[in-house]
Amino acid sequence: MSSTPEPGSGIAHFGSRLVPESEKGRLVRGVFESVADRYDLMNDLMSGGLHRLWKSSLIDSLAPRPGMRLIDVAGGTGDIAFRFLKASAGRGHVTVVDINEAMLDVGRRRLARAPLPGEIEWLCADAEALPVADRRFDAYSIAFGIRNVTHRARALAEARRVLGYGGQFLCLEFCPRLALPFFDRLYERYSERIIPTLGRWVAGDADSYVYLVESIRRFPPPEAFAAEIAGAGFGRVGYRLLSGGVCAIHSAWKI
């Protein structure tokens, strides 16, 4: 098999492995079923809490307003949704979509422990085939999820479909390389050695975190992903690097 699957070959990357496209979704669901209960804690440990600032930056870019309708995809544990409801003063509506019911269960339990005003809907569905009406939402967000879908082009097409005209697309995702060469090498060693070890100690699953690190390495650099977003028909496409290029917020609009 080629290390780079040809379009239409029926082969996809699952981290560094090549697998049948039909199998990737099941494998990804297995990863997140395994780590769901410790997912938020692991995010804190792996990023030193920085993921909270990155997600707050996404919400700042969104600028929630009362009455706004957001669809948050791959958002099962509720991090983006809860920030959105708080920022909209409890007068927004958010639909949380995740392909993994275990992740959604974590989000529901979190909300039950600390209720928030506003409307929230939980939906188990695939980012590539959202069971919602055309032009239903004012904004679409996806944080650290786009790299896990099998066909990014289909997910981006669905994002555009469910947005109303003038709606905003926001994606928070890791970059495969840091902007600073020396720190890039340190970050690579940390990702390859420390993160799987943390996964084994905290979540009891090193292999899932090996996959997550590998999935970051396989993701296109920000300028290439921005071109994919533009190719899906979005306008005013741009991105902003965070923390020296550890991740980026991609922004675009349905025109």
- What is the rounded (10 degree) CA torsion for 9, 12, 17, 22? -100
HSE at residue 55, side-chain half, CA atoms within 13 A, is 22
Cα radius of gyration rounded to whole Å, the chain? 17
CB atoms within 10 A of CB 95: 23
Domain 21-178+208-254, classified CATH 3.40.50.150, yes or no: yes
Length of the chain: 255
E strand segments, the chain: 11-14, 17-20, 69-73, 93-98, 119-124, 137-143, 163-174, 234-242, 247-254
How high is the pLDDT of residue 46? 74
Query: Residue 8 burial by CB count (10 A; 0-12/13-18/19+): exposed, middle or buried?
Result: exposed
d(CA 71, CA 87): 15
3-state secondary structure of 29: helix
pLDDT of residue 2: 37
Give the predicted TM-score (pTM) of the model: 0.88
Give the angle 141-74-218 at the CA atoms, nearest 5°. Answer: 95
- Per the CB < 8 A criterion, the answer to whether 120 and 83 are in contact is no
> Chain-centre distance of CA 62, in angstroms?
15
Q: What is the pLDDT along the chain (255 residues), one digit of tens a residue?
A: 335 565 566 887 777 777 788 777 777 777 777 777 777 777 777 777 888 999 999 999 999 999 999 999 999 889 999 999 999 988 999 999 999 999 999 999 999 999 998 899 999 999 999 999 999 999 999 999 999 899 999 999 999 999 999 999 999 999 988 766 667 777 777 677 777 676 677 667 777 778 778 888 889 999 999 999 999 999 999 999 999 888 999 999 999
Determine the pLDDT at residue 206: 74
Nearest to 166 by CA among 252, 80, 231: 252
pLDDT at 6: 56
Amino acid letter, residue 222 = P
